Structure 1
């Protein structure tokens, strides 16, 4: 069985000159945790080979702009400040309003100038920015599948030498789970696609040691584009639901920033008044423990990703049908050839 995306590939600048690369996909990509972006702060992040400046105004709203001041090109993420609702350039202190327009200078009238904005959403404690080819506006939204009050409490991030599509593909590569992570997997429902969203439902459990083999968890996965993966795992014996995120951002050619996040919530949302706050320290501790386990598994993947290459025509075998399904679904996020 072959899965083929040859029309999307470009030649890599790798030394052998033979490794095919994929272009940057469009979609929503996480650039920061919400708690990193405090009121009045300015951050610089990489997205698709370019700097993006994130900032939060005094009223708590987050924004993302292209990095250079239209006056004389100063980098707004290097010394830029927030004054009330405005982003102020470090070079000549031109002030820019939330709509991007220049609204003030230290002296004299301000010019007709405007910052170029990127669309921002905040979901469950993540700052997520839209990347569109030729700066096209968002074509779809990150779904509000997790309750808005569920906020990531434990996170871990690393840089990976792989294309962002390969990281998201990992969730559909069932064969690697027992081979790399010692996890048994059973597909409960085949992957289902609806536009930019892909859902799957698996039953997972350890395949060793023998004493743990009876432990099984049903996991619901949601992919929203190639940069957002969310898993939800009910754990009835502990009375909680685990929420796991793997949010990826392409930072450069074959470079991806991987961020893992975990939250834990009460499985019964109608607990008696006063009981839920008492559970929060337990939930935070459990989230940290689950993150530690997820990171140990992710490090095994990162070691492989950092050394592998992308195969545009993989020779898939029986049991790899989900990978072929995923690759055909992923085509929609690339420019039409």
Structure 2
């Protein structure tokens, strides 16, 4: 199930002009340009990354690839009518074919020229197609991890566009002060933020704010941030024998523009060895994942009112209780070019 996407974020009349905002470059890292189910064999998709088009395609054997968009022959865009034949993407203008290593391998009426298209590095993890992006086109320096057990993939998703730099969104994970103010939740327990190279880990125990009866409801959330692009939140429900996975993928699409892709999945804490039992529980898993997605979308829309109108403060006046934000900003430096 894929929910209807929100419309692009409007330019806020309360926001200063773009050229007055402090500038942040695009970060290096892995970015989820599509869900795996969107990229069927033979299909071509165009997605935006760091103010450039990236063309995704899947060969008939199921492998996913990503190329720069323009044919080196006469500049046609592979995403504007391009096709895939076997393992080769075909230019829509003159049907030049290119191998998965980028080399032109055939034309309709003669030997192929010495031409090639550049490929991006691609990984598929937990139902997402991720593309590596770096400021100097260097190869990946770290891998995006599996963020859920094998076979657990999203069954519901939603996406929107936000007028803010990607760092503003991912920094939200460590901004504990906004949780009771914006989301009306009570924080019961916080584990210190821990960095492991390009990965950031933390966990929170949260509950709804309100009458004492509601305040007895508490949930443990475990957060894994892999670079600035991939956030996974794990929410176990032991009384139901279930665990919910929420993926929040951030994709920098242009100057102070971020595409936000949220997706949810649900699984048994102890998977049944019997295929029939697993099949019968699948509709329950989908319903719970869908419910979790709606809840998460509601919370994110509260954040969007802030994101779409705020500006980035390069030297924030932090106070006690903001230690995790300072920690996050120090950790985030590794994804930018050295100054």
TM-score computed with the length of structure 1 as normaliser: 0.94
Aligned to 2:269: 267
Residue 234 of structure 2 aligns with which residue?
232
Q: State the partner residue of 2:313.
A: 311
User: What does the per-residue CA deviation read over 1:45-64, in whole Å, with 9 as the maximum and x for residues that have no partner?
Assistant: 00000000001111111100
Mapping for residues 156-175 of structure 1, pairs under 5 Å: 156-175=158-177
Aligned twin of 1:143 = 145
Alpha-carbon offset, residue 274 of structure 1:
2.5
> Contact (CA 8 Å) 1:201, 1:221: kept in 2 or not?
yes
Distance change in 2, residues 1:271/1:16 (3 Å): closer
Partner of 2:17: 15
Structure 1 runs (4+) deviating above 4 angstroms are 270-273
Output aligned runs, 1:276-295, within 5 Å: 276-295=278-297
Label 1:219 to 1:15 Cα distance change in 2 as closer, same or farther (>3 A): closer
Distance in 1 (CA, whole Å) between partners of 2:19 and 2:155 is 43
Q: CA deviation at 1:210?
A: 3.8
Q: Does 1:190 align with 2:176?
A: no
1:16 shift after superposition? 7.3
Q: Which runs of 5+ in 1 are unaligned?
A: 1-13
* Structure 1 partner of 2:4: none
1:82-107 Cα deviation digits (max 9, x unpaired):
11111000111000111111111000
CA-atom RMSD in angstroms: 1.2
Task: Name the structure 2 match of 1:179.
Answer: 181
Counterpart CA distance in 1 for 2:101 and 2:18 is 46
CA distance in 2, matches of 1:279, 1:209: 34
* Matches of 1:221 and 1:15, distance apart in 2: 34
Aligned to 2:54: 52
| TM-score normalised over the length of structure 2 | 0.93
C-alpha deviation, 1:113, in angstroms: 1.0
Task: Figure out how many residues of one structure are paired with residues of the other and give that number.
Answer: 324
Q: CA deviation at 1:186?
A: 3.5
Indicate conservation of the 8 Å contact 1:202/1:219, yes or no: yes
Q: Deviations over 1:148-196 (max 9, x none)?
A: 2111111000000000011111111111111000111244320000110
Kept in 2: contact 1:86–1:97 (CA 8 A): yes
1:279 shift after superposition: 0.6
1:257 is matched with 259
Structure 2: stretches of 5+ with no match in the other structure = 1-15
Q: Match for 1:217 among 201, 216, 219?
A: 219
